[in-house]
Amino acid sequence: MDTILIKPQRRLLAAISFLFLVLTSFNQAFAEADGAKLFKQNCAVCHSLGDNKITGPGLKGVAARVPADPWLFNWIKNNKEVIKSGDAYAKKILAEYNGADMSTFTHLTDDEINALVAFVKNPPVEVKTTTPTDEAKGPKGATEEGVNPLAILIGVIAFLIIIIGVLRGVTHSLKNIQNEKQGLPEEEAVGPWDEIKNWIVTHKTTTAVIILIILGGLLTEGWYALKGIGVYEGYQPVQPIAFSHKIHAGDNAINCQYCHSGVEKSKTAGIPSVNVCMNCHKGISSGPTTGTEEIAKIYEAAGFDPKSGEYTKPQKPIQWIKVHNLQDFVYFSHQQHVKVGKQDCANCHGDVKTMTVAKQVSPLTMGWCIDCHRKTEVPGMKDNPYYESLHKKLAEKYKGLPKEEQVITVAKMGGIDCGRCHY
Amino acid sequence: MNKNVIRIVSAMSLFSCMTIGFTSCQKHDENSPGVEFMPDMYRSPSLESNMAYTSLETGEEKQANMLPVKGAIARGYMPYIYGNDTAGYSNAGKYLRNPLGRTEANLKQGEELYGKFCVHCHGATGQGDGLVGGKLPGAPPSYSAGALKTLPEGKIFHSITYGKGLMGPHAPLMTQEERWKVVLFVQKLQNPGGTAPAAEANTVVPAAEGAAVPAEAPAEGKK
């Protein structure tokens, strides 16, 4: 009995001591992380732990550079005081950064600043950022090579024709063998073309029906093929930089208008200039799927040197390939559709948030435009003083109609008049 | 017999030719949109935005998005006299005042603009916890704590205009009026309790004595 009782007690003791150990080690980890956390919150916006410059200098080997303690403490707390005191080193960096001084951190406690100083002097060994796996890169190169169903059909037909030919040959030779045995003269081979001719002559109606069916099929196919000319639904060109809308607008939930900021102010939504890319990519130099490869192309276009954090190289425009191209004889304004019509981007551009490579999902044909103009109400018109009198007039005009027809659609405002888009 | 063999061989070669013919048509240029009916109506000589074109004079390739003629002033352009330097920053804090009133409509529009242009880094409540903010080397500081809690409106506007630290300039994305609306909303986030920010001075001083007035007119256009 005794031994049975002792065992759990021992285990309990062991468990408690283990827990204690874990807790104390956690505590230590927490004390260390404090400096790291403070650094990320307060300093990392301008300083890196490496030797590259962001806004302020990189802090690698800072302890060896700066004067002896407590200089760094005082500098972090209130660098303006240090500058005022006439400190030589302070003056030197101020001159180096053209008089741009650092923010003051008087709101941090002394303990917090000490933790920061300790962290900056002995930063943790940099954890290597995971390089993108080949798996993630995989589907980029492999384009789908589907087999045309028409080719399969024609292949099958050709195969059948060959089999018929072979079988005909076989029957013919068998018959001749039989004839030879029976002492009959050899039968002359009838060419397949002659046989078909004979068949046509004897089956005139069937032939006519078959010809009509084939002709009808060809005509419809041809009609649809003609209708597809100039319709680029599904167009998905490869862009000079593998920009992914999925990562930006989907995973990171950046609003469409952050980059396409002209959409409410102009005819075109606009392709963002590189400085808009640099608003984030000045700090983010590695992406989740392509690593640094694609983002380096932005730096090259912007003339940005990631090492010094400055724009020192010549700029090169990025030649993006236009996906949605309206013919020159159509006037289309994004401003009117988004600002007044309150149309969501996805109504025409589809679910861009899920697209790795941008794709045209709408046909952009005139029928498609008019279809929407017939169905869509203009919500931005009601509370817009510019359209007040027009809205009143139209509401009066369609008063007598059944309820569902009273909706003032784009078409009712003249939105399907020729001159509205073609002028 | 010989005739039949010839026939079979020729039929088979025809078949293989057809197979090769049909499958080799599979690969097409992904960057070609397809057949264009009257291409000159799709690609007219008049320049569209963001287009590259070949200069008729020199024959070199040019970008249709060109810089405005030197000295051109955009419609609705408002000059901004504070320079992108330390003196400009501190002077903007001292003298620059919001021309817009703290009205419900302005705040609402400010919130909308904040949702488009700021939220992904600064987070919905201005704590610097946006999805992109977390991926930056350092998250943006909180509006409602530390140094930014009492940041005057002029400095907020100045920071949006020229950028600060890792943040890039947002003057090209928003007009001055829009930026002031964002400032109104940011001030709301500085004081989540709902108290109006304490005005440092009631007098509106448009220009600063020490402000570095740039020699060339559009200070905003600079990177």
Quickly tell me which residue has 């650094």 as its tokens. A39
In the prediction, which pLDDT does B58 show? 85
Question: Which residues of B fall within a CB distance of 8 Å from A146?
Answer: 26
Q: Which of A11-15, A86-90, A196-200, A279-283 has the lowest mean pLDDT?
A: A11-15
Distance from CA of B145 to the nearest CA of A (A): 9
Percent of chain A with pLDDT over 90: 28
Percent of chain B with pLDDT over 90: 35
Question: Which residues of B fall within a CB distance of 8 Å from A311?
Answer: 223
In the prediction, which pLDDT does A277 show? 93
Contact B50 A271 (CB under 8 A): yes
Contact B35 A159 (CB under 8 A): no
Give the residue from A236, A322, A52, A147 showing the smallest Cα distance to B24: A147
Cα–Cα distance between A381 and A371 in angstroms, integer? 20
Which tokens belong to B169?
């300039």
Question: Which residues of A fall within a CB distance of 8 Å from B27?
Answer: 145
Over residues A146-167, the mean pLDDT reads 88
Which tokens belong to B124?
């919905």
A162 Cα distance to chain centroid:
49
Residue A238's closest chain B neighbor by CA?
B31
Contact A255 B119 (CB under 8 A): yes
Q: In the predicted model, what is the mean pLDDT of chain A?
A: 81
Distance, first Cα to last Cα, chain A:
102
Question: Which residues of B fall within a CB distance of 8 Å from A232?
Answer: 33-34
Surface of B (74-113) touching A: CB under 8 A:
85-86
**pLDDT category, A326, cuts 50, 70, 90?**
confident
Cα–Cα distance between B176 and B171 in angstroms, integer? 8
* Tens-place pLDDT, residues A329-355: 899 999 999 988 889 999 999 999 999
CA-CA-CA-CA torsion for A329, A335, A336, A339, nearest 10 degrees? Answer: 160
Amino acid at B62: K
**pLDDT category, B169, cuts 50, 70, 90?**
very high
> How long, in residues, is chain A?
423
Q: Taking a C-beta distance cutoff of 8 angstroms, is the pair B211, B83 a contact?
A: yes
Give the residue from A268, A264, A258 showing the smallest Cα distance to B168: A258
Question: Which residues of B fall within a CB distance of 8 Å from A145?
Answer: 26-27
| Nearest neighbour of B117 by CB, restricted to A42, A108, A258 | A258
Task: Write the secondary structure of chain A as one string of H (helix), E (strand) and C (coil).
Answer: CHHHHHHHHHHHHHHHHHHHHHHHHHHHHHHHHHHHHHHHHHCCCCCCCCCCCCCCCCCCCHHHHCCCCCHHHHHHHCHHHHHHCCCHHHHHHHHHCCCCCCCCCCCCCHHHHHHHHHHHHCCCCCCCCCCCCHHHHHHHHCCCCCCCHHHHHHHHHHHHHHHHHHHHHHHHHHHHHHHHHHCCCCCCCCCHHHHHHHHHHHCHHHHHHHHHHHHHHHHHHHHHHHHCCCCCCCCCCCCCCCCCHHHHHHHCCCCHHHHCCCCCCCCCCCCCCHHHHHHHHCCCCCECCCECHHHHHHHHHHCEECCCCEECCCCCCCCCCCCCCCCCCCCCCHHHHHHHCCCCHHHHHCCHHHCCCCCCCCCCCHHHHHHHHHHCECHHHHCCHHHHHHHHHHHHHCCCCCHHHCCCECHHHCCCCHHHHCC
Which tokens belong to B198?
């304490």
Q: Going by DSSP bridges, is the β-strand pair B52-54/B61-63 parallel, antiparallel, or unpaired?
A: antiparallel
A48 touches chain B (CB under 8 A): yes
Quickly tell me which residue has 């709408």 as its tokens. A362
Surface of B (165-184) touching A: CB under 8 A:
165-170, 172-174
Does A17 score more than 80 pLDDT? no
List of domains in chain A:
29-121 (1.10.760.10), 152-189 (no CATH), 365-423 (no CATH)
Does B18 score more than 60 pLDDT? yes
Q: Going by DSSP bridges, is the β-strand pair B52-54/A304-305 parallel, antiparallel, or unpaired?
A: unpaired
**pLDDT category, B195, cuts 50, 70, 90?**
low
Residue B120's closest chain A neighbor by CA?
A254
Over residues A113-138, the mean pLDDT reads 61
Question: Which residues of A fall within a CB distance of 8 Å from B167?
Answer: 279
**pLDDT category, A50, cuts 50, 70, 90?**
confident
Does A142 score more than 50 pLDDT? no
Residue A77's closest chain B neighbor by CA?
B147
Surface of A (79-108) touching B: CB under 8 A:
98-101, 103-105, 107-108
Contact B166 A46 (CB under 8 A): yes
| Nearest neighbour of A165 by CB, restricted to B8, B51, B117 | B8
- Does residue B10 or residue A317 have the better pLDDT? A317
- Cβ density class A380-415: b for 16+ within 10 Å, e for less: bbeeeeebeeebeebeeeeeeeeeeeeebbbbbbeb
Name the helix (H) or strand (E) containing B40: helix B39-42
In the prediction, which pLDDT does B13 show? 66
Contact B223 A321 (CB under 8 A): no
Question: Which residues, in sequence order, are bridge partners of residue B63?
Answer: B52
Residue B117's closest chain A neighbor by CA?
A258
In the prediction, which pLDDT does A299 show? 94
Contact B63 A317 (CB under 8 A): yes
Cα–Cα distance between A401 and B141 in angstroms, integer? 58
* Tens-place pLDDT, residues A355-401: 999 999 999 999 999 999 999 888 777 777 888 888 888 888 888 88
* Tens-place pLDDT, residues A396-420: 888 888 887 888 888 888 889 999 9
Over residues B138-162, the mean pLDDT reads 90
Q: Taking a C-beta distance cutoff of 8 angstroms, is the pair B143, B122 a contact?
A: yes
Over residues B144-159, the mean pLDDT reads 90
In the prediction, which pLDDT does A255 show? 94
Give the residue from B30, B26, B25 showing the smallest Cα distance to A359: B30
Mutate to test the interface with B, among A254, A365, A383 (most CBs of B within 10 A): A254
- Does residue A245 or residue A325 have the better pLDDT? A245
**pLDDT category, A205, cuts 50, 70, 90?**
very high
Cα–Cα distance between B84 and A202 in angstroms, integer? 94
Contact A275 B166 (CB under 8 A): no
In the prediction, which pLDDT does A146 show? 60
Distance from CA of A16 to the nearest CA of B (A): 37
State which of A28-32, A156-160, A304-308, A382-386 shows the largest mean pLDDT.
A156-160
List of domains in chain B:
86-190 (1.10.760.10)
What is this structure's pTM? 0.69
Q: Which of A199-208, B7-16, B204-213 has the lowest mean pLDDT?
A: B204-213
* Tens-place pLDDT, residues B178-191: 999 999 999 999 98
Cα–Cα distance between A379 and A368 in angstroms, integer? 20
Over residues B198-223, the mean pLDDT reads 40
Cα–Cα distance between B29 and B12 in angstroms, integer? 31
Cα–Cα distance between B60 and A130 in angstroms, integer? 43
Contact A276 B173 (CB under 8 A): yes
State the complex-level ipTM.
Answer: 0.75
B117 touches chain A (CB under 8 A): yes
**pLDDT category, B222, cuts 50, 70, 90?**
very low
Does A202 score more than 50 pLDDT? yes
DSSP B64: S
Does A133 score more than 50 pLDDT? no
Does B86 score more than 50 pLDDT? yes
Q: Which of A53-67, B125-139, B161-175 has the lowest mean pLDDT?
A: A53-67
Quickly tell me which residue has 């989740």 as its tokens. A288
Over residues A157-182, the mean pLDDT reads 89
Give the residue from A140, A53, A129, A48 showing the smallest Cα distance to A291: A129
Contact B166 A320 (CB under 8 A): no
Give the residue from A283, A322, A319 showing the smallest Cα distance to A301: A319
Contact A42 B141 (CB under 8 A): yes
